Amino acid sequence: MKMYDIIQKKKKGQALSDHEIEFFIKGYTDGSIPDYQASALLMAICFMGMTDEETVTLTNAMADSGDRVDLSCFGNLSADKHSTGGVGDKTSLIVAPIVASLGGKVTKMSGRGLGHTGGTVDKLESIPGYRVNLTPEEFLSQVEKVGMAVVGQSGNLTPADKKLYALRDVTATVDNIPLITSSIMSKKLAAGSHNIVLDVKVGSGAFMKTPDEATELAQKMVKIGKDCNRNMAALITNMDIPLGNNVGNSLEVVEAIRVLKGELKNDLYEVCVALATTMVELIFSLQRNEAEQKVKNAIESGDAFRKMKEWINAQGGNADYIENTDLFEQSKYSLTVKSVKEGYISSMNVEKIGMTAVTLGAGRRVATDTIDYSAGIIIHKKTGEYVKENQDLCTLYSNNNSSLKEAEKQYLEAVSISSNRSETNPLIYDIIK
């Protein structure tokens, strides 16, 4: 079999056989197929698409490219969530302790920030001492004792996705439904959880720009998971507005803590309640109303917040920071961005807002960049809200004074203000099961 023929076949729009897809994944993972041939095939897939059968084969081949985690010791209680990526998306920090406090076993492997989107692992590393790498034994024993662990993608899990994702990132082949489906679902299947809830983001800050595209992606991922005997659900949620008000690593941890303490009942709270409810529904086969009541009680009773402290402490983090968030390092410099005119905020370009946070030091431009954990943005006004001229739009934080002016310019370009109040899109478009 020759890679050249496989590229040629896909270029003509023909479906690849199982054998051809498996040959590609094996060869690319072991290095016998070079980047230039893999890039050509990825681009051909972007133009010609893949059938559902091809997508399933690709997903399984990628899941089998490395180890699979065995979580059978937790029976049907193991649970995982995955977001397709957004700005201000700190839902894992909130949903995981809620579900663990209710008896679920949350086994979460998270990523780092990518482009304009933040990553859970970077956020957790803003807590002094937090260990994102646990040995497999430590991981399982913590989930057994505490009910949850959140670690980075370590070990030999889906090496095919690691290589392919890096290649897609630099060849403009990320935003393709079969490729995203196989990337996410191969990781979820290899990570072993029985219950999987996906948060498919839609809007200016997401890979999927329209609800139709997001629905197609969600349906495909749910189907593949079900075909592999997992309990599956996907929420389609809004990423036309950053989620919550804080963007940046320790700033996001602080906002997550406030939601878990029951102090904040904002859009972030609502999305987290919906995600946690769906997880609890799947794990314990409950009616939605009952699951939602349990989730809300977990917050009100303080159980979910106590679970967060227990988790952070178990994973080496200094839980004093969770109790008293004033301990987090504060940025040396800040700048409040003022509105240049009066009117309603009609839209926010979320991708640009994510890049503003990167400018401030909260994310990486290249993989070797170091992160300024205290850098980021606190947003004071969001889409649909009214602002007067010179009123505060947001506050920017950084340890690099010279980044503030550029970030201010970027932020102002990202926010549109108009005299008419426009309709805002729903926060949760749909739940697909």
Which residues contact ligand URA by CB under 6 A? Answer: 84-85, 165, 174, 179-180, 183-184, 207
Active site residue 409: no
Q: For residues 119 and 248, which CB has a smaller minimum distance to ligand URA in the complex?
A: 119
Q: For residues 109 and 415, which CB has a smaller minimum distance to ligand URA in the complex?
A: 109
Residue 174: CB minimum distance to ligand URA, A? 6
Active site residue 82: yes
Residue given tokens 């983090």 in the structure block: 317
The CA-based angle 259-263-269, given to 5 degrees, is 35
Which of 89, 122, 161, 240 is catalytic? The answer is 161
- Tokens standing for residue 275: 């995600």
Which of 90, 168, 201, 294 is catalytic? The answer is 168
Q: For residues 208 and 272, which CB has a smaller minimum distance to ligand URA in the complex?
A: 208
- Measured CA to CA, the distance from residue 153 to residue 148 in angstroms comes to 16
Q: For residues 134 and 174, which CB has a smaller minimum distance to ligand URA in the complex?
A: 174
**Which pairs with CB-CB distance under 8 Å and at least 24 residues apart come from 271-275?**
271/91, 271/199, 271/235, 271/237, 271/243, 271/427, 271/428, 272/91, 272/94, 272/95, 272/98, 273/299, 274/235, 274/237, 274/428, 274/431, 275/81, 275/91, 275/95, 275/197, 275/199, 275/235
Q: For residues 168 and 309, which CB has a smaller minimum distance to ligand URA in the complex?
A: 168
CA distances (Å), 251 to each of 144, 338, 431, in order?
30, 20, 29
Residue 215: CB minimum distance to ligand URA, A? 16
Q: Which residue is nearest to ligand URA (CB)?
A: 183
Residue 1: CB minimum distance to ligand URA, A? 26
Residue 213: CB minimum distance to ligand URA, A? 13
Residue 384: CB minimum distance to ligand URA, A? 28
Active site residue 19: no
Active site residue 17: no
Residue 353: CB minimum distance to ligand URA, A? 19
The 8-class DSSP code of residue 49 comes to -
CA distances (Å), 149 to each of 17, 107, 110, 140, 315, in order?
38, 6, 10, 8, 8
The one-letter code for the residue type at 117 is T
Which of 10, 65, 80, 82 is catalytic? The answer is 82
Helices 159-170, 177-191: axis angle to 10 degrees equals 150
Q: For residues 207 and 311, which CB has a smaller minimum distance to ligand URA in the complex?
A: 207
Which of 183, 186, 250, 374 is catalytic? The answer is 183
Active site residue 194: no
- Tokens standing for residue 258: 């406030």
Q: Do 330 and 398 meet the contact criterion of CB atoms below 8 Å apart?
A: no
Active site positions, annotated:
82, 161, 168, 183, 187
